[in-house]
Structure 1
Amino acid sequence: TFCGTATTIISGAVAERMRFGGYLIIALFVSAGIYPVIGHWIWGGNSEGHPSGWLQQMGFLDFAGATVVHSTAGWVALAAILVIGPRHGRFTIHGGTIKGHNLPLSALGLFLLSVGWLGFNGGSSTPDSQSLPLVLVNTTLA
């Protein structure tokens, strides 16, 4: 599911910028190539209780996937939009920007995303009930 989340983040960046087939190629490339490599570097799995990813061996800790999921998706999305360019219809003929619209729907999306993050990170925490409040507070502050 983490890999699916990463490709979904990329879809939000390239929406209205490219055709769906192009996005599928990017999603396949990320899912089959980039994400597994980054995931292995950082998480690497535990071999008999010992960290096996080279970044993990150096002390790097990615608890809820902030780096593996969000940074990987963010860097791929940035590279894609730098190549693709602005959304179609983003600028007027004279170069002025088109103003955003539908603020209530955007606010609802922000609320749902925030609640989802609390559930995702809280559910990903260890069964130790003492760490759950810290995870939820850090998620809220982030």
Structure 2
Amino acid sequence: MIDHNGTSSGPSTLRPWLSRWNAPTMMLLGVLVGVGFGLGHHLYYQSFADAFVQSTSEQQWTVRIGTGLAFLTKTAFTAVIGIAFSQYLWVIARKKPLSLENLDAMFAMISNPISFLDINVLASAKLLTLVGIVSWLLPLIATVTPATLTVESRAKPSIIS
């Protein structure tokens, strides 16, 4: 916002330190939330170790809740990876001379896997490429972790007098 003197008085000029801490704060918060949901998922499934299932409905709800926790874990980590990717992309853009084609390929990395075929991008931004690959592999969390709950059929002995 520009006041009557012609000077800018927007949020970025009033608190320039705040913009520097937005991304790191959100990344730290996202990691803590993701670890929390992941730990919750582990402890939730651990609570069912050697437990007997009373009904199919109970088993279905157990898997549903576990899948939900896995999805929330993946979502938190995906947000963190997205923030880290964009922050590091701008670090590279400021430090290295890049063609518009290379910059476009870098921006497209998390939405278009064909961008990984650009040799110039791979050579000039190795860490960014690694972060982009991790962003493509993160959905495996939500598909693999629900399968960690296994059900074993056992006869339950009951003594009737």
Question: Which structure has the larger Rg?
Answer: 2
Q: Which has the higher helix share?
A: 2
Q: So what's the TM-score if we normalise by structure 1?
A: 0.30
Q: So what's the TM-score if we normalise by structure 2?
A: 0.28
